[in-house]
C-alpha cells in the first residue's frame, strides 16, 4: 500500500530485533503516526486499545509480541504467560489465538537459547504469509467481481458495499475484503465502493474510506443505516466483508452490523461475499450463534466520538448526557445461509460444512 | 411530557397570536432551549433545519406557519405561496402536505377578513387532535405490549427496540411509537427500551434516550448496527417505530435503517410494529419503494457530528478528512410483508391493502 508516495506495511521489525513498529490506527484518518513497541505488554496493550486492529494484523502483532518476550526471557513459563496475556487482549478473533498458539508451540519445541532468533523469524514469516494470503484472496475475489461486471451494461461502474475495515490496515498489506477491490482497480475494472461508517468505532469512516482514497479507488461514505436502501434501489452489485471467525458450517463472525447487511443482500438478491484467510476458520465450532464468544466493549465507544474541531484539533465529544446507559456488542454472527461464498487464499468456497471440510486438515506443503 | 417538573408540549402559541414557540431539538440533549417563531419563513426554516422534526410535529408547525402568514397577508396568492414554501421544507413526510393542504383549503373557503383568526384556531385544533391521536395510539399499542408481556415468564422485563425518535419530541405530546411505552410504564408494566442511536443525525441518542430518561423509562442506547445481534439472542420482544408515510398496500417509509431492523425482526420472529397516525397514510400511493420520494440530506450530516467537549462546550467535530465523499439518504421503505401490524388511533391494522381500505374514506365524525 502506498501512502505519501512510499510503500508501507502496517507493521515492521526494527533493526536489531529489539522492537517493532506499527501504524497507529487510533489517530487515522486525521494524523499519520507510527508507534514503537518494545515489550510484550506494550504489544498486548496495542491490541487491546486498537492501535492495531483487524484479525490478521493482530495475529502478526501478537507473534512479534511473543518474539519480544523470547528476547527478554525465553523460559517455558515466561512464554506461556506472555501467550495467555496476548490471547486475552481480544477474545473474538480466532487468528489471535491461532497465531499465538502456533508461535508458542514452535518455540517450546526449540532449545531455550535459540528461541529468541526463532521467534523473530517465525513472526516475520507470519507477516509474509499474510501478505501472500491476501494477494491470493484478492486474485480469487477479482474473478468474482469480473464476472459480475460482465453482466452489467458496458461502461457501468461496479458498486461494492463493505462494512468496517478489512483493508490494508487490518492486515500486513493488501487487506482481505478490500484486496479484490484494489486488484480490480489496478486491472482497470471500474469499481466504486460504498463504505459503511461502522459505528461505534467508525472504522469504515476513519480507515476504509481513508485507505481507498489513498489508493485512488472511488468510494462514498454512508451511515450504516443506508445499505439496505441502496440495495433496494439496485445501487449495490455485491457486498464484500472480512471476518473474525468462521465456523465449520460457515457461520461468519464479523463486526457488529454485518448480519444486517447480509439480510438486506439476501432480500435483494445481492451476492454477499466474505473474504476469509484460512487462519480465520475455526473448525472446532459449528453453530456460530451459540458458540462464538462476542466481545462487549466499553459503552464509551457509543457515547463519545473523536474528530477534528474547527481549529483542526483532534478531540473527543460526548454525544449524550452523563449517565446515559449504553451497550456495545462488538461483533455479530451471520448465519451461513446468508453467505453467497467465502473468498479464501485457496479459492472460492461455499459456506457449508461439506465445502469447508478440506480446511479441517492442514494445507499441503 | 414532564421536563424539570413542568408539563410541556413541543409547540405552543404565544399570547396575542403573533408568534408561536417550539422546543429547539437541535441542541438537545445538551441544552434545553425554546425558539420563538414569528414569520412563515421562520416556520419553514425551523422545519428545514430540524429545529422541529417528526412527521406529526412538522405538520402542526406548518399549520402555525400558515397562520402567521394569514395574519401578515391573507390574500389567496399569499397563502398559496406560503403553503408551497412550507411543503417544500421537507419532501418525504406526508403529514406536512396533509396539514398544509387542509389548512389552506379551510382558509381559502373563508372570507379574507376572518382568515387570520380561523387559521390560528385551525392550527390549535390540529395540535389538540395530534395529542388525542397519540394518546389513542398509545392505548392500542399498550394492548399489544400487554399481550407480549403475558407470554413471558413472570417478573421478566419486556424489551422493545425503537429506531429514531417517534416520541414526545416528534409530536405535540405523547409521541407515536413511544406512546405505548409511556403508557405501559405508567400502567406498571416493566418495560426496557433499546434505543438505536440513529445515524447520521442521532435522533435516538439525542432525543429518544433523553426523553425516555426524563420520563423514567429504563432504556439502553445502542449503535444502529447492534439490533440484529440483540434479536438473534432473544433480547428484543418487539420493535416499534414511527413512520413518515404509509402507502395503500402498507409499505412504510421511515427513517433510514428502519428496513434493516424490519429484516432482522422478520428473521428472528420478533413482532415489528409501526405506530401510524392516520394522517401519515397516503392512499394515493401503492408501491412505496417505487413511488415515495426519498429526501437526500447534506453529506455534512455524515461527515460531522455535534457533541459536548470535555469543557462542556457544544461543538461539532469532523469525522473524516476534507474531500471525503458521503451520501445521505434520509429515509427508507419497509415493504408491508415485513410489518406485523400498524398501530393507529383507530386501532391495530394489518399492513395490507384490504385492511387499510377503510382509511381511504374520512373517519366518521
Instruction: Compute CA distances A317 → A210, B272, B306, whole Å.
Output: 21, 33, 7
User: The cell 417550539 sits on which residue?
Assistant: B22
**Residue A33: partners with Cβ closer than 8 Å, 6 or more residues away:** A23, A24, A27
Confidence at residue A94, expressed as pLDDT on a 0 to 100 scale: 80
In a domain, A133, yes or no: no
Round to whole Å and give the CA distance between A242 and A250: 13
Given a contact cutoff of 8 angstroms between Cβ atoms, the answer to whether A230 and A222 are in contact is yes
Kindly state whether residues A97 and A153 are assigned to the same domain.
Answer: no
Chain A: give the shortest CA distance to residue B16, in Å.
Answer: 36
Kindly state whether residues A189 and A86 are assigned to the same domain.
Answer: no
What percentage of chain A carries pLDDT values higher than 90?
Answer: 92
Measured in whole angstroms, the distance separating CA B361 from the mean position of its chain's CA atoms is 23
B200 to chain A, any CB pair closer than 8 A? The answer is yes
What percentage of chain A carries pLDDT values higher than 70?
Answer: 99
Chain A: give the shortest CA distance to residue B93, in Å.
Answer: 17
**Contacts A320 to B, Cβ<8 Å:** 29, 205-206, 209-210, 221
In a domain, B365, yes or no: no
- Counted across chains A and B, CB pairs separated by less than 8 A come out at 213
Chain B: give the shortest CA distance to residue A208, in Å.
Answer: 11
Residue A337's domain spans which residues? Answer: 138-360
pLDDT higher than threshold 80 for residue A311: yes
CB proximity under 8 Å: B 315-354 to A = 315-321, 323-329, 331-333
CB–CB contact A306 B317 (8 Å): yes
Name the residue facing B324 among A213, A223, A230 (closest C-beta): A213
In a domain, A241, yes or no: yes
Kindly state whether residues A204 and A242 are assigned to the same domain.
Answer: yes
Q: How many CA atoms lie within 13 A of B36 on its CB side?
A: 6
Write down which residue in B128, B152, B185 finishes a domain: B128
**Among B226, B244, B313, which would you mutate to test the A interface (most chain A Cβ atoms within 10 Å of its Cβ)?**
B226
Using 50 as the pLDDT threshold, list the residues of chain B that sit under it.
365
Which of B244, B251, B282, B332 is an active site residue? B244
In a domain, A172, yes or no: yes
Round to whole Å and give the CA distance between A343 and A240: 9
Kindly state whether residues A40 and A112 are assigned to the same domain.
Answer: yes
Chain A residue whose CA is closest to B228: A260
Name the residue facing A224 among B199, B220, B319 (closest C-beta): B199
**Contacts B306 to A, Cβ<8 Å:** 317
CB proximity under 8 Å: B 252-291 to A = 255-257, 259-261, 263-264, 267, 289
Name the residue facing B225 among A257, A305, A316 (closest C-beta): A257
Chain A residue whose CA is closest to B301: A223
**Contacts B320 to A, Cβ<8 Å:** 29, 205-206, 209-210, 221
Name the residue facing A222 among B220, B327, B333 (closest C-beta): B327
Confidence at residue B95, expressed as pLDDT on a 0 to 100 scale: 84
Confidence at residue B364, expressed as pLDDT on a 0 to 100 scale: 57
Round to whole Å and give the CA distance between A236 and A218: 14
Kindly state whether residues B112 and B166 are assigned to the same domain.
Answer: no
**Contacts A206 to B, Cβ<8 Å:** 319-320
User: The cell 448465519 sits on which residue?
Assistant: A335
Write down which residue in B128, B160, B178 finishes a domain: B128
Given a contact cutoff of 8 angstroms between Cβ atoms, the answer to whether B205 and A238 are in contact is no
User: What would the 3-class secondary structure string for chain A be?
Assistant: CEECCEECCCEEECCCCCCEEEECCCCCCCCCCEEEECCHHHHHHHHHCCCCCCHHHHHHHHHHHHHHHHHHCCCHHHHHHHHHHHHHCCCCCHHHHHHHHHHHHHHHCCCHHHHHHHHHHHHHHHHHHHHHHHHHHHHHHHHHHHHHHHCCCCCCCEEEEECCCCCHHHCCCCCCCCHHHHHHHHCCCCEEEEEECCCCCCHHHHHHHHHHHHCCCCEEEECHHHHHHHHHCCCCCEEEECCCEEECCCCEEEECCHHHHHHHHHHCCCCEEEECCHHHEECCCCCHHHHCCCCECCCHHHHEEEEECCCCCEEEEECCCCCCCECCECEEEECHHHCCEEEECCEEECCCHHHHHHHHCCCCC
Chain B residue whose CA is closest to A225: B257
Kindly state whether residues B145 and B100 are assigned to the same domain.
Answer: no
A204 to chain B, any CB pair closer than 8 A? The answer is no
Confidence at residue A5, expressed as pLDDT on a 0 to 100 scale: 84
Phi, psi of B113 (to 5 degrees): -65, -25
For the question of residue B244 being annotated catalytic, the response is: yes
pTM: predicted TM-score of the whole model, two decimal places: 0.94
Kindly state whether residues A32 and A176 are assigned to the same domain.
Answer: no
Confidence at residue A363, expressed as pLDDT on a 0 to 100 scale: 60
End-to-end CA distance of chain A: 28
- Compute the average pLDDT of residues A141-154: 97
Kindly state whether residues B108 and B254 are assigned to the same domain.
Answer: no
A217 to chain B, any CB pair closer than 8 A? The answer is no
What's the structural domain count of chain B? 2
Name the residue facing B326 among A221, A306, A331 (closest C-beta): A221
CB–CB contact B267 A264 (8 Å): no
> For A185-213, how does the pLDDT look when each residue is reduced to its tens digit (9 = 90+)?
999 999 999 999 999 999 999 999 999 99
In a domain, A297, yes or no: yes
The catalytic residues of A are 244
A305 to chain B, any CB pair closer than 8 A? The answer is yes
Confidence at residue B361, expressed as pLDDT on a 0 to 100 scale: 82
Measured in whole angstroms, the distance separating CA A82 from the mean position of its chain's CA atoms is 23
Write down which residue in B82, B101, B128 finishes a domain: B128
B114: DSSP letter: H
CB proximity under 8 Å: A 88-117 to B = none
Given a contact cutoff of 8 angstroms between Cβ atoms, the answer to whether A342 and B334 are in contact is no
Kindly state whether residues B91 and B146 are assigned to the same domain.
Answer: no
How many C-beta atoms surround the C-beta of residue A348 within 10 A?
16
A165 to chain B, any CB pair closer than 8 A? The answer is no
Per the structure block, which three cell numbers stand in for B29?
440533549
CATH number at residue B30: 1.20.120.420
Confidence at residue A40, expressed as pLDDT on a 0 to 100 scale: 97
Round to whole Å and give the CA distance between B162 and B192: 11
Given a contact cutoff of 8 angstroms between Cβ atoms, the answer to whether B206 and B26 are in contact is no
In a domain, B56, yes or no: yes
Given a contact cutoff of 8 angstroms between Cβ atoms, the answer to whether B72 and B138 are in contact is no
pLDDT higher than threshold 90 for residue A260: yes
Kindly state whether residues A81 and A154 are assigned to the same domain.
Answer: no
CATH number at residue B188: 3.40.50.10470
Question: Please, what is the average pLDDT of chain A?
Answer: 96
Q: Give the angle B329-B335-B340 at the CA atoms, nearest 5°.
A: 125
Per the structure block, which three cell numbers stand in for B14?
404565544
Closest CA to B196 of B183, B184, B185, B209: B209
Given a contact cutoff of 8 angstroms between Cβ atoms, the answer to whether A75 and A115 are in contact is no
So what's the ipTM on this one? Answer: 0.94
Sign of CA dihedral A247, A252, A255, A257: negative
Round to whole Å and give the CA distance between A13 and A36: 9
In a domain, A187, yes or no: yes
* Band of pLDDT at residue A364, cut at 50, 70 and 90: low
In a domain, B133, yes or no: no
Name the residue facing A228 among B221, B259, B316 (closest C-beta): B259
Amino acid at each position: 500500500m502506498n501512502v505519501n508516495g512510499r510503500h508501507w506495511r502496517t507493521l515492521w521489525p526494527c533493526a536489531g530485533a529489539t522492537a517493532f513498529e506499527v501504524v497507529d490506527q487510533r489517530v487515522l484518518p486525521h494524523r499519520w503516526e507510527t508507534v514503537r513497541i518494545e515489550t510484550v505488554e506494550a504489544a498486548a496493550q496495542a491490541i487491546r486499545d486498537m492501535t492495531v486492529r483487524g484479525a490478521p494484523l493482530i495475529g502478526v502483532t501478537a507473534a512479534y509480541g511473543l518474539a519480544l518476550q523470547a528476547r527478554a526471557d525465553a523460559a517455558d513459563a515466561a512464554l506461556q504467560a506472555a501467550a495467555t496475556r496476548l490471547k486475552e487482549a481480544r477474545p473474538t478473533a480466532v487468528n489471535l489465538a491461532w497465531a499465538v498458539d502456533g508461535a508458542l508451540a514452535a518455540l517450546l519445541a526449540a532449545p531455550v537459547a535459540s528461541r529468541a532468533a526463532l521467534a523473530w523469524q517465525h513472526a516475520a514469516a507470519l507477516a509474509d504469509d499474510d501478505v501472500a494470503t491476501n494477494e491470493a484472496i484478492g486474485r480469487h475475489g477479482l474473478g468474482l467481481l469480473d464476472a459480475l461486471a460482465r453482466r452489467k451494461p458496458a461502461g457501468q461502474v461496479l458498486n461494492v458495499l463493505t462494512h468496517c475495515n478489512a483493508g490494508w490496515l487490518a492486515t500486513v498489506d493488501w487487506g482481505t475484503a478490500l484486496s479484490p477491490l484494489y486488484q480490480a482497480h489496478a486491472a482497470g475494472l471500474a469499481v466504486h465502493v460504498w463504505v459503511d461508517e461502522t459505528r461505534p468505532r467508525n472504522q469504515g469512516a476513519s480507515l476504509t474510506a481513508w485507505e481507498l482514497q489513498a489508493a485512488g479507488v472511488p468510494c462514498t461514505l454512508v451511515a450504516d443505516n443506508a445499505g439496505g436502501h441502496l440495495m433496494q434501489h439496485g445501487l449495490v452489485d455485491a457486498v464484500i466483508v472480512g471476518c473474525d471467525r468462521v465456523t465449520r458450517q460457515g457461520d461468519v463472525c464479523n463486526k457488529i452490523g454485518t448480519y444486517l447487511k447480509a439480510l438486506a443482500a439476501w432480500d435483494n438478491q445481492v451476492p454477499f461475499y466474505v473474504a476469509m484467510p484460512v487462519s480465520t476458520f475455526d473448525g472446532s465450532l459449528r453453530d456460530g450463534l451459540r458458540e462464538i464468544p462476542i466481545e462487549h466493549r466499553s459503552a464509551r465507544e457509543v457515547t463519545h466520538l473523536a474528530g477534528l474541531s474547527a481549529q483542526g484539533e483532534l478531540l473527543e465529544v460526548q454525544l449524550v448526557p452523563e449517565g446515559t446507559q449504553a451497550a456495545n456488542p462488538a461483533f455479530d454472527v451471520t448465519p451461513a445461509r446468508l453467505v453467497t461464498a467465502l473468498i479464501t487464499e485457496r479459492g472460492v468456497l461455499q459456506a457449508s460444512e461439506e465445502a469447508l471440510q478440506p480446511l479441517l486438515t492442514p494445507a499441503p506443503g
